Copies of this chain bind each other. A is one copy, B any other.
């Protein structure tokens, strides 16, 4: 692990300079991240972005990652173990009632047993009231449903998981065949592992740091899809925008 630590340390010096905006009047870099957590979330919808963000955070001064939930109790994903209990968890750092200031909010999707959470007005209202103060909002997989119900996707281009295509993103131009879609400050991505490419694109464009995005995805040995229209699963699942 020595090489890992040495490289990160050396790179931090370079990258902290690279991360400094060059514009004379730059918009503040979006460094204050929040990840919305709720029971039955799809683990990887959150864990894939977190693995990239964890590396980015190590090399980015003042970057913070908050886990935001209804309560401070550990939040179980939808994955079950052999004794019928969830095996993977997010640990909240704040509740939705703390209203901590954020630059970016990431909303993960939920598993097939998430109907209750998809209609949880406390979560939907949190997304609705927080959005105006954000620089960017991101969703992975069926997380787009919370954005849709909060009215954020009205008239906007968006995508979601192939499996849930007919049930969510009821308004606005749907984009069924896309790994991820950016419409202004709204970034939605397709099924589960699309969160890797969404996060990579956000670090490149939203945080303006291509070098750091490349370093993070190379460390986790993920082959990034840089083209948002790359989506072989559109054909596999035969989805249409209708």
In chain B, what residue has the closest Cβ to A192?
B220
Asked whether any CB of chain B lies closer than 8 Å to the CB of A163, the reply is yes
Contact of A221 among B8, B51, B161 (CB under 8 A): B161
Which one, A18-26, A61-69, A129-137, is touching chain B? A61-69
| Known pairs A91-B87, A221-B190, A236-B218; A82 contacts B54 (CB<8 A) | no
B2 & A87 in contact (Cβ 8 Å cutoff): no
Contacts of A10 in B (CB 8 A): none
What CA separation (Å) do A191 and B4 show in the bound complex?
A: 12
| Known pairs A67-B87, A81-B66; A192 contacts B167 (CB<8 A) | no
In chain B, what residue has the closest Cβ to A220?
B192
Asked whether any CB of chain B lies closer than 8 Å to the CB of A88, the reply is yes
| Known pairs A1-B164, A193-B196, A193-B222; A91 contacts B82 (CB<8 A) | no
Contacts of A237 in B (CB 8 A): 218
A window 55-89: CB within 8 A of B: 57, 64-67, 74, 76, 78-83, 85-89
Interface size class on chain A is 35 or more
Asked whether any CB of chain B lies closer than 8 Å to the CB of A125, the reply is no
B93 & A79 in contact (Cβ 8 Å cutoff): no
Q: Shortest Cβ distance from A140 into chain B, in angstroms?
A: 10
What CA separation (Å) do A240 and B229 show in the bound complex?
A: 35
What CA separation (Å) do A166 and B81 show in the bound complex?
A: 35
Contacts of A196 in B (CB 8 A): 193
Contact of A54 among B67, B79, B220 (CB under 8 A): B79
Which one, A41-49, A146-154, A204-212, is touching chain B? A41-49
| Known pairs A78-B54, A219-B192; A166 contacts B88 (CB<8 A) | no
What CA separation (Å) do A85 and B74 show in the bound complex?
A: 13
A-B contact pairs, 19 of them (CB 8 A): A1-B115, A1-B167, A8-B112, A43-B51, A44-B47, A44-B51, A54-B80, A64-B82, A65-B80, A66-B83, A74-B74, A83-B93, A86-B91, A87-B90, A88-B88, A191-B219, A191-B220, A192-B221, A194-B221
